[in-house]
Amino acid sequence: MKAGLNRTTIIEMAANIADERGIADVTLKVLAAELGVKPPSLYKHFNGGLDELNKELMLYGWRFLESKITKVAIGRAKDDAIMAICYAYRNFAAEHKGLFEAMQWYNMYQSEEHLQATQGMVSVFFQVLDSYELNEEQKVHIVRMFRGFLQGFSSIESHGGYGNPLSLNDSFDFALKTILNGIHDLQGGIEK
Amino acid sequence: MKAGLNRTTIIEMAANIADERGIADVTLKVLAAELGVKPPSLYKHFNGGLDELNKELMLYGWRFLESKITKVAIGRAKDDAIMAICYAYRNFAAEHKGLFEAMQWYNMYQSEEHLQATQGMVSVFFQVLDSYELNEEQKVHIVRMFRGFLQGFSSIESHGGYGNPLSLNDSFDFALKTILNGIHDLQGGIEK
DNA sequence: CTATTTTAGCTAATTATATTAACCATTATA
DNA sequence: TATAATGGTTAATATAATTAGCTAAAATAG
C-alpha cells in the first residue's frame, strides 16, 4: 500500500498518456507502469478493467470539455457567446488530441452514457440560443448542426485530414459565420 | 490451397464483419474463421497483419463512398448536386456503420494515406462548386465545412448521440439549407 | 509432359496483454 | 486493541497477434 491511487488520478494519467503518446498506448500495462504499480492493481479501482477505464476516460473528457465551454460562455451573449464556445471546443480538441479521440471513439458501445456525457455541452448551447428569437425545433436543429460540424471539423483537423495549405482558422471562422448567418435569417435577420 | 483468397475478398469480408457484428470483431481470428481459414494464413495476403488490413479497410471505405458520391452527382448541378452528395454520404454512413467507423478510426495513424483516400470525395465537391461564382479560397472553406459537418453529424447520428426525438432528417436538411444559404450569400445571392 | 519454383495454406511455438485467483500488509474502524 | 476493509502483490490463465518452419497444389520453365 504505497501508491495511493484513486479513480481520478488513474483517469488523469490515462488522459495524459492518450495526449502524449497516443490513444493506442492507453493500456493497463503502460498505465500501471506510469503509475508505479502492477497491472492487476488497477482492477481494485476499475472492476470492469480496461473497458470501464476507457468509458470513464470518455466521460471525463466530455465533462472536461463542458467545463471549458461553460467558462468561456460566461459574460458573453448571442453570436459572441457561440463563437467563444466553438473556439473553446476546437482548442480543446487541438490541445487534447488523444483525449478527444477517446471521447469519439468509445462512444459506440455506450451510447446511453455518451448521451448523458454530452448533455452538459448541449445545455450550454441551448442556454445561449434562448436569447435568440427561435422556436424549440429550430434550436434543436441548430445545436445538432453545431455539434456535427464541431466534432467533424475538429476531428479531421486534428488528424491532418485537411490537405490544402489554406488557413484552417479562416475555414473555421468562415463556417461559423455561415451558420450564424443561417440563424439570423430565421429571425428578423437584425439582432446579433 | 483451397480457399482461393485474395486481398479484395478479405477486405470485403472485413467490411461485412464490421457492419454486421461491429468493428470490435474485425480481428484476425474472426476474419479467418469467416473465410474458412486459419489466422496465420492471412499474413500471406497482408504482410503487415491486422494493422495493414485495417488500413486497407479504411481506404476501401473511402473509395466506396467516393463511388457512391460520384454516382449521385451525375446529371445534377449546383444545390441539387450538393444535396444529393450529402444525402449519399449520410446514407452510406447509416448503411455501413462499421465500415464508416473504420474509416474514421484508422485515420489517426495514417494521415498521409487518409489524405489520398479522401481526395476523390473532395474532388467531386470541387467539381460541383465550380459552377458557382466562387473564388478558390471560398471553395476550400466550403468543402471543409461540408466535410466537417457530414463526418460529425453522421458519426453522432450513427452512434445514437443525438438524444432529442426530433426528426434527424429535418435537422440534416436544415443544416444543408443553412450552408447553401451561406454559399448563395457569397454570390449575388440569386442563382441556385 | 515433366521438373521446378512459387504460392497459399497449415501446425506449432512465441509474445503480448488482459484478466483472475490467491495472498498479504497497512489502514481504518468497531 | 482486535478486526475488517483496502489497495497492493505475485502467480496462473486466456485470448489474440504474430513468427517460423513445413507442405501440397498450382503455375511455369524447359
In this structure, is residue A115 part of a structural domain? yes
In this structure, is residue A10 part of a structural domain? no
Query: By C-alpha distance, which of B135, B124, B107, B140 is closest to A164?
Result: B140
Which residues sit close to strand D, CB under 7 Å?
Answer: A 1-6, 37-38, 40-41, 44-45; B 1, 27-29, 39-40, 43, 49-51
Q: Which residues of chain B have pLDDT under 70?
A: 1-2, 106-111, 188-192
Side-chain-facing half-sphere of A12: CA atoms under 13 Å: 6
In this structure, is residue B138 part of a structural domain? yes
Could you list the residue range(s) of the whole structural domain that residue A147 is in? 54-186
In this structure, is residue A123 part of a structural domain? yes
Residue A1's pLDDT is what? Answer: 56
**How far: A1 CA to C30 C1' (Å)?**
22
Residue A191's pLDDT is what? Answer: 45
Q: What is the CATH number of the domain that holds B133?
A: 1.10.357.10
In this structure, is residue A93 part of a structural domain? yes
- If one counts the domains in chain A, the total is 1
Give the three cell numbers for residue A103.
471521447
Mean per-residue pLDDT of chain A: 93
Which residues from chain A sit within 8 angstroms of residue B154, using beta carbons? 148
In this structure, is residue A119 part of a structural domain? yes
Residue B188's pLDDT is what? Answer: 63
In this structure, is residue A6 part of a structural domain? no
Query: By C-alpha distance, which of B68, B53, B65 is closest to B5?
Result: B53
Each residue's pLDDT tens digit, A116-162: 889 999 999 999 999 999 999 999 999 999 999 999 999 999 999 99
- What is the reported pTM? 0.95
**How far: A16 CA to D12 C1' (Å)?**
32
In this structure, is residue B35 part of a structural domain? yes
Q: Does residue A2 register a pLDDT over 50?
A: yes
Residue A27 DSSP one-character state: S
Pairwise CB contact (< 8 Å): B145 & A178 = yes
